[in-house]
Structure 1
Amino acid sequence: MSHDTPKRRVLVIGSGGVGTMVSVALERSGQASVTAVLRSNYEQFVQNGFEIESIDHGKLSSWRPSAILNAVPLADPNTPFDYVIVTMKNIPEVNNIPKIIAPAITPEHTAIVLFQNGLYIEPPIIAAFPTNVVLSAPTFLGAHEHNGHVVHDDHDYFHVGAFHNPTVDSAFERAKLEEFATIYNGSKVVDANVVDDIVFYRWRKVIWNGIFNPMCAITQLDSAAVRRFGGEHGLIRPGMAEMAAIAKADGYDLGPGIVDEMIDVTPIELSFRPSMLVDVDKGNPMEVEVILGNALRVARAKGVQTPVLDSTYRFLKLTQARLLAARGLLVEPKEVPKVDLI
């Protein structure tokens, strides 16, 4: 983008650790004006901003984006949002993402960017917004927010691609994708890498996310403890092998060394607490369906046998039911219903 090009208007929905650092990267590019939507931390953010310690951006005190709101705004036809970025957790039992973001979307104009976990999370967005570009960005950005203090301790590096919307011109999709990456990379300290097939990278992420996350949440052990106490060879590696088999049946061969590679991503010396375990710690519902459920739906459609993942999913659903019930979001049935696996 040239210096004469107006700043792109960006709405970021979900300003925890990841959402805040996405907003920082965009604002510091000098090419975007960010409006952040916050809920639980809105008042504190308005009064004090965020205290940020970032491996990429350094220390930022009382940081704020261009605008802060406590609800998703209605799109202004005169100044529509160019990009709506979703960083909030994708939990269908709790929130309907298309419904939440709908007020801010201008048909044929706004590109929707999903900085969320999960597999095949894009089709429901395309179904709800058939004339809009949908970009997908499975990030590994390590950032956590607590009481207005954000610690960002892992380099902001991710792949971003267009999830093809058959009713949108491919050239237009590509132009929006490349423009977004250019804006995001404008600060020169982050790395948004444009790719042609983002589903490949979502499968790569779910190899790790779909195994370690559920195993840690169910057992309430961190990533190192699960391995030390015998889970690596009995559950983790077999589960990853099953996930790789699903990906291959779906047309994505991740290579013979993918299990070793994903095991090595989190060294046993690093006692890492994955997001699902953090959710259990806090009593929050987890991203069960988009991370593991969607992968198993692909397995059923492709005829792939997944005994380890099937059992993991059943136990994870029980844990999820407990979390939902504690929040008053699930009523215990009077009779136990007969249900399919998924």
Structure 2
Amino acid sequence: MTRNGASQEKRRVLVVGGGGVGTMACVALEKSNMASVTVVLRSNFNKVVQDGFEIESVDHGKLTAWRPSAVVNTVPQSDPTKPFDYVLVTMKNIPELTDIPKIIAPAITPGHTTIVLLQNGLYIEPPIVKAFPQNILLSGASYIGAHERNAQVVHDDHDHFHLGAFHNPTFDRSAERVKLDDFASVYNGSKVVEAEIVDDIVLYRWRKVLWNGIFNPMCAITQLDSAMVRRAGGEYSVIRPGMAEMAAIAKADGYDLGENIVDVMIDSTPIELAFRPSMLVDVDKGNPMEAEVILGNALRVARKRGVQTPILDNTYRFLKLVQARLLIARGSIAQPTGLPTKDFI
């Protein structure tokens, strides 16, 4: 029986990025028994090939020497006889370093492969639509808590994300819905995770960036965890006003998040729950941050819509300085030369 006739044929899925989010996506897809997963790894490739992943998961339990169906260290070229049904992108989205469309292009079969973005940020989809006009695009806002270091994965908050189709004018919305339903059914096949289908994924990206766009940068800039930023006086001087500005941008963009959304977001993060957001984890590791897609893109919408954002503007300026330090330390950008060396008091 063909797939359209509800066959049990496994979907061929390429996962690009083997950090915490990507690894747990591989686990969910493989454990559904509805997908055969190939994962593209970089820094942890040799370790995973040799020993597999060591995983402690709130959803899947302890997994030792675990690997998906295939592990590769470069994005494979599309095979016309066995094209990838889905390319799931979970790698960090850092425009200063990575060109996502260029990276995934070899694996995309025009008119067949559905692209799925499970990444942070706002309006990260238009470059994909532009680069791949013949491919359906799905987008997900994830709330998982999972961190990977040297093939050791700690997954301590449930795998749940909102998933929607980001409309590509090339396609009828009904065709996009078919792929949306199919991917969600595969991902949810293990019965212990949840890809929740939504009609407008941009709404949920705005809701997520309302929190991410102020807590993440402030923690990265100060190197304080989420609770200390609030206890040290940042909640009323920076956090709440910054969130209010973000909500104003969303409203100007056509997404009214609600009159009490700032209180809702603050209350959803009890001050007793101290944790280090992803940007701060990146700073801890000396890795560049997703500054542009999380905060920069929101501020570009603000400029387009005429919204004043003094708190977020200054936050972005300081965040860019931290990003520059991280990029210089990695040799990704050159350190300025020919500047005065004399100390000034």
User: Which range, TM-score by smaller chain?
Assistant: over 0.9
Structure 1 match to 2:8: 5
Matches of 1:329 and 1:197, distance apart in 2: 36
Please provide the CA RMSD for this pair. Answer: 1.3
1:158 equivalent in alignment to 2:158: no
Confirm or deny: 8 A CA contact 1:27 1:34 kept in the other structure: yes
Structure 2 match to 1:71: 74
Structure 1 match to 2:207: 204
1:141 equivalent in alignment to 2:144: yes
Structure 1 match to 2:175: 172
Q: CA deviation at 1:284?
A: 0.9
Q: CA deviation at 1:266?
A: 2.0
Structure 2 match to 1:119: 122
1:184-195 aligned within 5 A = 184-195=187-198
Structure 1 match to 2:342: none
| 1:44-103 C-alpha deviation (Å, 9 max, x unpaired) | 101111111111111111111011101100000000000000000000001101000000
Structure 1 counterpart of 2:251, which letter? Answer: K
Q: CA deviation at 1:245?
A: 0.3
- Stretch deviating more after TM superposition (324-333 or 259-268): 324-333
Please give the secondary structure, in 2, of the residue aligned with 1:138: strand
Q: CA deviation at 1:6?
A: 0.9
Aligned length in residues: 336
Q: Identify which of 102, 105, 125 aligns with 2:105.
A: 102
Unaligned runs of 5+ in 1: 337-342
Structure 1 match to 2:285: 282
Q: Identify which of 281, 294, 299 aligns with 1:296.
A: 299
Structure 1 match to 2:268: 265
1:40 equivalent in alignment to 2:43: yes
Please give the secondary structure, in 2, of the residue aligned with 1:255: coil
Structure 1 match to 2:343: none
Please give the secondary structure, in 2, of the residue aligned with 1:196: coil
| 1:173-208 C-alpha deviation (Å, 9 max, x unpaired) | 110000000101111111111111000000000000
Q: CA deviation at 1:252?
A: 0.4
Matches of 1:322 and 1:329, distance apart in 2: 10
Structure 2 counterpart of 1:68, which letter? Answer: V
Matches of 1:280 and 1:174, distance apart in 2: 38
Q: Give the share of equivalent positions with the same residue, in percent.
A: 74
- State TM-score, norm by structure 1: 0.96
Structure 1 counterpart of 2:56, which letter? Answer: E
1:89 equivalent in alignment to 2:92: yes
Q: CA deviation at 1:227?
A: 0.4
Matches of 2:47 and 2:325, distance apart in 1: 31
Matches of 1:151 and 1:251, distance apart in 2: 37
Please give the secondary structure, in 1, of the residue aligned with 2:75: coil
| 1:311-341 C-alpha deviation (Å, 9 max, x unpaired) | 00011111111111111122245699xxxxx
Structure 2 match to 1:339: none
Matches of 1:241 and 1:54, distance apart in 2: 35
Please give the secondary structure, in 1, of the residue aligned with 2:55: strand
Confirm or deny: 8 A CA contact 1:13 1:36 kept in the other structure: yes
Matches of 2:23 and 2:336, distance apart in 1: 40
Matches of 1:231 and 1:335, distance apart in 2: 38
Q: Identify which of 228, 238, 242 aligns with 2:241.
A: 238
Please give the secondary structure, in 2, of the residue aligned with 1:318: helix
Matches of 2:63 and 2:280, distance apart in 1: 29
Confirm or deny: 8 A CA contact 1:203 1:247 kept in the other structure: yes
Structure 2 counterpart of 1:106, which letter? Answer: T
Q: CA deviation at 1:5?
A: 2.8
Q: CA deviation at 1:270?
A: 1.5
Q: CA deviation at 1:265?
A: 2.4
Structure 1 counterpart of 2:52, which letter? Answer: G
Structure 2 match to 1:340: none
- State TM-score, norm by structure 2: 0.95
Structure 1 counterpart of 2:126, which letter? Answer: P
Structure 1 counterpart of 2:241, which letter? Answer: P
Confirm or deny: 8 A CA contact 1:266 1:272 kept in the other structure: no
Structure 2 counterpart of 1:320, which letter? Answer: Q
Q: CA deviation at 1:260?
A: 1.2
- Stretch deviating more after TM superposition (85-94 or 325-334): 325-334
